Each structure stands twice: as structure tokens, then as C-alpha cells.
């Protein structure tokens, strides 16, 4: 089946610290992988995506590389800001079937000044 | 502004009440989704509509009844809910469903509390 496992939070970092949020997946075939971000009081927004192995998605200083050999899609940012405080969701979409997303449980990040 | 709006943003209802959640998308999409977001659980896909036709019902109890009158509007009718149904209900839309990877755009959600 399809599933996503991401590191449990919450994660608290000081401003300008390095961020890593781990995500691993199980899927039939070769899925597309996504990171979504949910700011307080808002819905989910697509942060970045990768559709095939070795692709690197990037946006707003965040990066994640699709690693087929380790079935991982870890989210990284070199220097976090207070405005990055949010909940981050890793998700996959299987190649077959409808356009359904399978999400992880989310990781809450708090960045303190 | 994501182009997907949801009303109401907050709803408190008793177990015997009947209420409806509304979602509207202004993106010209043809697929719409309902998700349930509970604390410490992955988002759960509830229903999928593509071109107004329901294509997925993810074993959702019958006390949740979706309606999609056109490609821009999606409703979730609620009746005789249980306290464990308290959650954030998210609506999303995409160009359509199918084998291509269409991005899903989410609304802000309706925070539902069942008392």
C-alpha cells in the first residue's frame, strides 16, 4: 500500500538554524512526492514537489531530493526564519489510480528569535 | 489567496443537529476533494468528485453526505455526528483526477466541534 512516515514534532529551532524534517514513504511503483505547509489558520499550500527519482524540489529556500534507494524525501532549509513556523506535511501521489494524495501526520516547526 | 474558499470557518453542533459545510473554488478546476484532519493523524481523504461525479468514497460513514452540484461547488452535509467527528475539514480542488500529477489547492478548512 501507500503510506508516508515523517518525523514527529514538535521541532523548535532558533532563527538561522539548519532544518531537517525526515520523510520516508512506501508506495507501489514510483510515486510523485510533495511537501505541503500549513500556516496557522490556513489551509495547506504546496511548498515543493518532485516527480521522479533524483529530482530536487525547491522553493523559498527549502529543498528536498527524491531518493529512490532510501525511499526518502527529507525537507531541508539552511537558515530558518520566524516566518517559517508552521506545520509541514510530506505526501505522495501514486502513479496509478486517481489523483489522491497520501499524507504524513505533519511536523510542527516553531522558530524562535 | 488560494482560490478555494470554505464556509463556515468554525462550526459547533450538537449530535442531533443537521448542518452543511460549503466549499467553492474559483480556479476553473474539475476535481474537488474533502479531507478530514484530526490531531496527530494523517489527513484522511473522504470523497473525490471529478466532473461532478463521485469517484471515491473512502469508507466514510453515512452521517457524512457529499454533494457536488457543479464543478465549482462542493458540500458536505452532516447529521447525527459523534464527538470523534470533531476535526478540521479541508476542501481541495485540482484540474482533474487521473494519471497526471495535478496540483491540489486547499481551502482554509472548517473547524468542526461536535458536542
Taking a C-beta distance cutoff of 8 angstroms, is the pair B10, B21 a contact? Answer: no
Q: How confident is the model at residue A7 (pLDDT cuts 50, 70, 90)?
A: confident
Q: What is the mean pLDDT of residues B83-94?
A: 94
pLDDT above 80: residue B102: no
Helix (H, G, I), strand (E, B) or coil at A113: coil
pLDDT above 60: residue A49: yes
Taking a C-beta distance cutoff of 8 angstroms, is the pair B95, A98 a contact? Answer: no
pLDDT above 80: residue A96: no
Question: Can you tell me the distance from the alpha carbon of A50 to that of A56, in angstroms, rounded to the nearest whole number?
Answer: 6
Say if B21 is an interface residue toward chain A (CB within 8 Å): no
How confident is the model at residue B100, as a pLDDT? Answer: 67
From the list A32, A105, A106, the residue facing B101 with the nearest CB is A32
How confident is the model at residue A53, as a pLDDT? Answer: 93
Cis peptide before A105 (omega within 30 of 0): no
User: How many residues make up chain A in this entry?
Assistant: 113
Residue to test with chain B: of A90, A97, A99, A103, most B Cβ within 10 A: A99
From the list A43, A98, A101, the residue facing B108 with the nearest CB is A43
**Which of A106, A87, A35 minimizes the C-alpha distance to A66?**
A35
**Residues of chain A with pLDDT > 90: what percent?**
75
Residue A43 and residue B2: Cβ atoms within 8 Å?
yes
How confident is the model at residue A16, as a pLDDT? Answer: 97
Question: Can you tell me the distance from the alpha carbon of A21 to that of B49, in angstroms, rounded to the nearest whole number?
Answer: 32
User: pLDDT digit string (tens) for B4-51?
Assistant: 999 999 999 999 889 999 999 999 999 999 999 998 788 899 999 988
Question: Can you tell me the distance from the alpha carbon of B87 to that of B60, in angstroms, rounded to the nearest whole number?
Answer: 14
Amino acid at each position: 500500500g501507500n503510506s508516508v512516515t515523517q518525523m514527529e514534532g514538535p521541532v523548535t529551532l532558533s532563527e538561522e538554524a539548519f532544518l531537517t524534517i525526515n520523510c520516508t514513504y512506501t508506495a507501489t511503483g514510483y510515486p510523485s512526492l510533495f511537501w505541503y505547509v500549513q500556516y496557522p489558520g490556513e489551509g495547506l499550500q504546496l511548498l515543493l514537489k518532485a516527480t521522479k527519482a533524483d529530482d530536487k524540489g525547491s522553493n523559498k529556500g527549502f529543498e528536498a531530493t527524491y531518493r529512490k534507494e532510501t525511499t526518502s524525501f527529507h525537507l531541508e532549509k539552511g537558515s530558518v526564519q520566524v516566518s517559517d513556523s508552521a506545520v509541514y506535511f510530506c505526501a505522495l501521489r501514486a502513479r496509478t489510480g486517481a489523483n489522491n494524495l497520501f499524507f504524513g501526520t505533519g511536523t510542527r516547526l516553531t522558530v524562535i528569535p | 489567496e488560494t482560490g478555494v474558499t470554505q464556509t463556515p470557518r468554525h462550526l459547533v453542533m450538537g449530535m442531533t443537529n443537521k448542518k452543511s459545510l460549503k466549499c467553492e473554488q474559483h480556479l476553473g478546476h474539475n476535481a474537488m476533494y474533502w479531507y478530514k484532519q484530526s490531531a496527530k493523524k494523517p489527513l484522511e481523504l473522504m470523497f473525490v468528485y471529478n466532473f461532478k461525479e463521485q469517484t471515491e468514497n473512502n469508507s466514510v460513514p453515512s452521517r457524512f453526505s457529499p454533494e457536488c452540484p457543479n464543478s465549482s461547488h462542493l458540500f458536505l452535509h452532516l447529521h447525527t455526528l459523534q464527538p470523534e467527528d470533531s476535526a478540521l475539514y479541508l476542501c481541495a480542488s485540482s484540474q482533474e483526477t487521473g494519471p497526471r500529477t495535478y496540483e491540489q489547492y486547499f481551502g482554509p478548512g472548517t473547524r468542526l466541534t461536535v458536542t
